[in-house]
Amino acid sequence: MKTDAAAAQRLRFALLAISAGLPFLVTSGPYQELIRDFDAGKYTAYYEHVTTSSTPGTLTVLPSESSDDLDRIQEELLATAERWETVLARPNLPSDQDVEEMERYRELAQDSTLDQQLAQGVELHILLGLLPLLNPSVHAASEQLRATLEQFPQAAYLDNILKQYNAFTKQFDTKVAPSQQKQMVAMSFPFPGALALKGKLVSEQVEIAVRQQAIVLRDLRATMETAYHEYTFVGAAIAINRENQDLLKQMINVAQAKLRGGKATYNAIIMAQVELSKLSDTVITLEEQRATVIARINMLLNRLPDAPLGAPKPLAETGLGLPLAKLYEVAIEGKQELQQQRLRTARMNTMVELATRMAYPDPSTGAAYFENRMRLASGTGQTTPAFATRRDLNHRETPWFGQRDAYIREIKIRTGAMEKTLTAMQDRTRFEVRQAYFGLTTAKRSIALYRNSLLPQARQALEATAAAYRAGKTGFLTFLDVERTLLSFRLAERRALRDHHTQLARLDQLAGHPLPRTSSRGEPRTEDK
C-alpha cells in the first residue's frame, strides 16, 4: 500500500508537471510498474482513478485554475441573460396601453365567459388587448426570443471547457496490431477579448430577436385593425342595402296602386322587382363576406372560425397628428425592419473584429504520453514510448493562413452590401409612407366631399323624385336612377371611412408603433398629449 501511495504521488506530480508545460521525463521504474499492475488488473491508486473517473471512448474533463478575466466576462454574460429574462417577464405593451389595462385584458382572456361577451359586441381596443395574450404567433415569437437567450451560457461555457484540462480516449487502434494510448493532458488559454466579443454577438442577436417579436405583434395589430374596419364597413353596407330594400318595397306598393288605377305600367313594377332582387343578392354576398371577416378575427384570437362575434362598435373619427416630413423621420427611426438591419450590420462588424482576433489560435500548453505497444507477427520487441510536449504562447510565431484573411475580407464585403441594403430599405420605407399618406388624404377628402356635398344633394333629389312619382309627375325609372345614385354615394362614403382608418393603421405599422391622433376638430386627443 505504501508503494501504491508513493506511486500515486509520483503520478500526481507528473500530471502537474505536464499541465504546467515543464520538461518532464518519465522514468522506467515505478511508473512502469504502475502500468504493468494496471494491465494485470491489480488494485492500485492509478487503477482506481482510471476506472472511476473515465470511460473508454468518452472525454474526461479535469478542473483547472481559471483566468480572472474570463470568469469576470462569463459572469457578465450570465448577468446579461438574467437581465433579459427580467425584461421578458414584463408584459410586452404597445405604446397606447398601460400595465393596469393589460392586467384587465389578461383577466378577460382567462374569463370563462369571454365567448359570451364577444358574442354580444366587440370593440377594437378589446380585440387589440386580447391579441398578444391569445395569438399563438405572438407566443411563438416570445419562445424564439427565449431560445436566443440560451446562447449566453453557451458562449460562456464553451470557452470555459476549452481552457480546462482534458484527456481523450484511452484506446487507440492503428488497425494493424493492438496498441494503446495513455492519457493526454492539454490546456488552452482563450483570450478574454474573444469571449467578450462572443457575448456582444449574442447580445446583438437577442436585440434582433426582440425586434422580430415586435414585428410579429405590430403586423398582427395592423391585421386586426384592418379586419375590424372591414367588419364595420360590411355591417354598414348590409344596413344601407336593407334600407334601400325597404324603400323599394314601399315604392313597389305605390306602383301597384297606380297600376290598379291605370296610372302606371306593368313595366315599372317589373323593373322595381328586378332592382329588389339585385339588392337581395348583394345582401347575401355581404353576409358571406362578413362571415369571412369574422373568421379572420377569430383566427387572430385563436378561436374557431364560426365562433360568434357581436356587432362592432363604431370608432370615433380621428386624424393624424404628424405632418408628412415628420412621418419620414419617425418611420426611418422606428420601423423594426430597419432597426434589425442596423443591428445585423453592427453584428457583422463585430464578427469581423472577432474573426480578426481569432485568426491566431489561443495560446496553449500541453504534453502527451503515447506508448505504442505494437508487436509484429515475427515477434520483434515493442517500440519505445514516445513523450511529446507542445507550448505555444507567442502569436508572432504562429503562421498566418490566407484563407482566414479571405474570410475576413468576405465579411467586410458583405457588411458593405448590408449597408447598401439598409439605404434601399430606407428609400422603400419613405415611398410606402408617402403612398399611405396619399391614401389617407384621398380618403379624407372623399369623406368630406360625400358628407358636405354629394350625400345631401342626393337625399334631396331622392325625396323630390319620390314625391313627384307619387304625384304622377315623373316615371318610376327616374326614381330608380336617383335611388341607385344615393345608394352608391352612401356606400362610397362608408368605404372612404374604412380606407381612412386602414391607412392610419398602415402608417402605424410603418412607424413601428401607434402614432398620435387628432380629434375630428383637429386637436390632439387627451391620451395622445
pLDDT above 90 as % of the chain: 38
Considering 72-81, 86-95, 464-473, the range whose residues carry the highest mean pLDDT is 464-473
pLDDT score recorded for residue 347: 87
pLDDT score recorded for residue 102: 82
CA distances from 29 to 33, 34, 36, 148, 379 (A): 6, 9, 11, 55, 24
DSSP designation for 527: G
pLDDT score recorded for residue 97: 58
Contacts of 242 (CB under 8 A, 6+ apart): 283
pLDDT score recorded for residue 94: 55
In angstroms, rounded to a whole number, what is the distance separating the alpha carbons of residues 146 and 209? 9
pLDDT score recorded for residue 93: 52
62, three cell numbers: 479535469
Query: What does the pLDDT look like over 214-246, one tens digit per residue?
Result: 999 999 999 999 999 999 999 999 999 999 999
pLDDT score recorded for residue 253: 85
Instruction: Answer for the pair 399, 217: CB distance below 8 angstroms, yes or no.
Output: no
Length of the chain: 529
pLDDT grade for 517, boundaries at 50, 70 and 90: confident
Query: What does the pLDDT look like over 49-66, one tens digit per residue?
Result: 444 433 333 323 333 334
pLDDT grade for 268, boundaries at 50, 70 and 90: confident
pLDDT score recorded for residue 264: 67
Determine the average pLDDT of the residues in 347-352.
84
pLDDT grade for 168, boundaries at 50, 70 and 90: very low
40, three cell numbers: 494485470
In angstroms, rounded to a whole number, what is the distance separating the alpha carbons of residues 97 and 341? 27
What is the pLDDT of the chain when averaged over all its residues? Answer: 75
pLDDT score recorded for residue 84: 64
Among 191-195, 200-204, 440-444, whose mean pLDDT is lowest? 191-195
Query: What does the pLDDT look like over 376-431, one tens digit per residue?
Result: 444 555 555 544 444 444 444 444 545 557 777 888 888 889 999 999 999 999 99
Instruction: Answer for the pair 95, 214: CB distance below 8 angstroms, yes or no.
Output: no
pLDDT score recorded for residue 407: 74
pLDDT score recorded for residue 197: 75
Determine the average pLDDT of the residues in 474-492.
90
Among 182-196, 323-337, 494-508, whose mean pLDDT is lowest? 182-196
Query: What does the pLDDT look like over 275-324, one tens digit per residue?
Result: 899 999 999 999 999 999 999 999 999 999 999 999 999 888 888 889 99
Instruction: Answer for the pair 54, 167: CB distance below 8 angstroms, yes or no.
Output: yes
pLDDT score recorded for residue 298: 95
pLDDT score recorded for residue 16: 40
Nearest to 229 by CA among 511, 508, 505: 505
Determine the average pLDDT of the residues in 496-512.
95
Half-sphere exposure at residue 529, Cβ-oriented, CA atoms within 13 angstroms: 6
In angstroms, rounded to a whole number, what is the distance separating the alpha carbons of residues 350 and 356? 10
Cα angle 34, 46, 51 (rounded to 5 degrees) comes to: 125
DSSP designation for 171: B
Output 415 or 180, whichever has higher pLDDT: 415
CA end-to-end span of the chain: 86
pLDDT score recorded for residue 90: 56
Query: What does the pLDDT look like over 118-143, one tens digit per residue?
Result: 999 999 999 999 999 999 999 898 88
Total-model pTM = 0.72
Residue appearing with cell numbers 503515447: 370
